[in-house]
A = this chain, B = another copy of it.
Amino acid sequence: MVGTPKPGWQDVPLLESFREFNVPTGLDTDVNAAALAEGRWGAARGLHTFSYVTVGTGVGVGIVVDRRSLRGLGHPEAGHQRVPRLPGSLWPGHCPFHGDCVEGLAAGPAIQARTGVPAAQLPEDHPAWEEVVHALAGLFHNLVLTVVPERIIVGGGVFGGQQQLLPRVQRALLVSLAGYAHALRIVPRVEEFLVAPALGARSGSLGAIALARQALADAAA
């Protein structure tokens, strides 16, 4: 492991601990693992390019291309994308790095810092939801036009606790895309494009199994 802010984990050779078992191993982030599981057994079965976004204590984004999580210099941290603010909004945001990036506006701790109430207990008609919806629509707009996913799966505690949120974000995404290009193929079926996860709390452990299967297949190839 490299470059983690988690105390004690910096430069820990995690995969070394498993060397004694002499089997193929894989390592990935929690959100990427959940994405791989949804791709094999869940809401993204059969898709080539898709994304899994979790909005909870942070905003995590996994991107899968051809059954593998996308990685370059490292893994995606697209929850820290910068997006336009809701016009007139001046709250500085809650991200220690960027202030009002998507995570700084829409993650659970940001919502609680702004309103004093945990996201799950915040009334549906609280005005703070407007900026959450706006920030997430900006993130999904940018994901659609960058990764061009066939589907985006949205999970995490904030969505799980607020049934109103997914349809609101679906509508805001269509408004933001403004009919552009791929939007033409998303408009009539946005409920099938931006969807809830199928595997729920099992996506993490199933993701570990998906990773292990991939490591085994890679070792055999």
Contact = CB atoms under 8 A, between A and B. Distances in A.
Copies of this chain, tallied across the complex: 2
A154 B98 CA distance: 24
Contacts of A67: none
Interface in A72-100: 72-78, 80-85, 97-98, 100
Contacts of A185: 3, 73-74
Interface residues of A, number: 45
7 contacts: A49-B71, A49-B73, A50-B72, A73-B148, A73-B149, A84-B84, A97-B178
B180 A145 contact: no
Given A97-B178, A97-B180, A146 B78 contact: yes
Interface stretch (A13-21, A34-42, A125-133, A135-143): A135-143
Given A3-B184, A65-B70, A178-B97, A145 B84 contact: no
B145 A76 contact: yes
